[in-house]
Structure 1
Amino acid sequence: MMNNIKQKQLETFWIEVLHRSKMQLSDMNIGKFHQWREIIGDRKINRLLKLMELILCPDNNKVEIKFIIDLINNQLNGQLLFSCFRTSGRIIVKEGLKGDIYCMPVLYVIIRYLIDNSTTALSVNKEQDQDVDIKQMLISNPITLTLPQTS
């Protein structure tokens, strides 16, 4: 019985993460994201994603979330990354520094999604502001996620 409740809570959490991720993606400047990616490089981004994977569950990881937000801000050109999100970038940083449980999973899903689907985004003319039609991108490459099973 307890496992069912825990599983339901986890599913509800991830449904919310995916919802927030799609909302963020729909108002994101993809061109700036690819600028950030070129500057930082895939090796550092993959290390960041591995670090983020350690705290993707809704457990209380306030200290770790703050640590990763600080790391992004101070060592991975966080200003450029968070500027991709237009107005909500400041909110992500502020909530992340407070240890918000959705901050890391949402950021993780967005970065992972944009890197995994970068061929779609990069095929758009680079001279433009690269505001890729994210709705089209989400339709042709929906965000999918395998939920961790609780035992």
Structure 2
Amino acid sequence: MADTMQFDLVAPERNLLSVPVREVRLPGEDGDLTAMPGHAPAIVNLRPGLVTVIDDKGTESEFAISGGFAEINGESVSLLAEIGRKREDMDQDAFDEMMRAALRKKKAAEQREEQQGAAAGVVAAAAKLLADMEALGAHIGLDPNSANFPD
């Protein structure tokens, strides 16, 4: 078994990282997980949180994501993030952008429920997304209540 695997982190605005890695820690929707070379194939839905990458030299780096999914195949991990930023680039403005996106999803789910009688699980999932986003901000020292987000 190889000591490393390829890791690619892509967000809509740009390719954030493409390197050989020893491990990747992911904020899975059903719980956190670590992917290492030889990991069983999986597709994982991601919640807002920090992705931690340990490269082939042992250097650790972190990325804040607002959600997305990762494809793991044992030889590589490909992560497509809805919104992604290097941890050191996360400031209050970037976090506010991520919070606004989470709020829009929650409002859209509530409107669908109101207009079409969508399942309550959709609204609950959107509310959880918003709570996970708030937890991410608190974890990295940003204030989820700093901006006046629309109701």
TM range (shorter): under 0.3
Of structures 1 and 2, the larger Rg is shown by: 2
Q: Which has the higher helix share?
A: 1
Higher relative contact order at CA 8 Å, sep ≥6: structure 1 or structure 2?
A: 1
What's the TM-score, normalizing by structure 1? 0.26
Higher strand share: 2
TM-score (norm 2): 0.26
